[in-house]
A and B are shown apart, each in its own frame.
Chain A
Amino acid sequence: LAKTTQPISMDSYEGQEVNITCSHNNIATNDYITWYQQFPSQGPRFIIQGYKTKVTNEVASLFIPADRKSSTLSLPRVSLSDTAVYYCLFHNNAGNMLTFGGGTRLMVKP
């Protein structure tokens, strides 16, 4: 079963851009890459999804190189409320099951 690898934690300051990279060497051809955000004692929340190249929405950008073996979530000008755990996931090729890796714990400081 393919897995993702992310940094365990990152620190940043308010107003900075944060880039979190995820490695997924065994991603399948049909898999989409999805990022979720989780605050303490809450369920995860969808942030962004992509297949290749670049995707941007109102909260983040997602960069995926041509080989799709990694992806980078970019959060522009983070605020204290962006302190959370961020998970990179893709769907198991047996269906739409999600496999959560360790996630990246982002701490935004004033």
Chain B
Amino acid sequence: GAVVSQHPSWVICKSGTSVKIECRSLDFQATTMFWYRQFPKQSLMLMATSNEGSKATYEQGVEKDKFLINHASLTLSTLTVTSAHPEDSSFYICSASGTWASDYYNEQFFGPGTRLTVL
């Protein structure tokens, strides 16, 4: 299947700083990318959906000014956690889908995740 990478795989930062997480589709063009957050022993929670060249659509309760999403190309989306606080510590996962990436209906390909720890 298609491959999605994330960078970094883990990051530790001080409270108040900003952290950028990259999500790349390595061998297909991702028309849509999704960002999820997952707390320990819980399910994935969709944060936002982004289409290349458009503003991201945020889920209810997700602060768009705090979680900045940019999807400037068909292979790259970034999530920036601004002024991070300890409660933002979580596992952030991106996924991508593309028209010709899969034989299955709207299959999403997930990145390996980024573990963010805010001290």
In whole angstroms, how far apart are the Cα atoms of A21 and B109 in the complex? 23
Closest to B115 in A: A41
CB under 8 Å from chain B, chain A span 25-74: 32, 34, 36, 41-46, 49
Is there an interface contact between A100 and B44, defined as CB atoms closer than 8 Å? yes
Interface residues of B (CB under 8 A from A): 1, 4, 6, 32, 34, 36, 43-46, 49, 91, 93-95, 97, 104-113, 115
The reply to whether A45 and B110 form a contact with Cβ atoms under 8 Å apart is: yes
Partner among B43, B49, B113 whose Cβ is within 8 Å of the Cβ of A100: B43
Interface size of A in residues (CB-CB distance below 8 Å):
21
With a cutoff of 8 Å between Cβ atoms, the chain A residues found around residue B104 in the complex are: 32, 34, 46, 49
Residue on A with the closest CB to B1? A46
Residues of B within 8 A of A98 (CB): 34, 46, 95, 108
How far apart sit A11 and B113, CA to CA, in the bound complex (Å)? 26
CB-defined A-B contacts under 8 Å, sample of 23: A32-B104, A32-B106, A34-B105, A34-B107, A41-B113, A42-B112, A43-B4, A43-B6, A43-B93, A43-B95, A44-B93, A44-B95, A46-B108, A49-B105, A49-B107, A91-B106, A97-B49, A98-B95, A100-B43, A100-B44, A100-B45, A102-B43, A103-B43
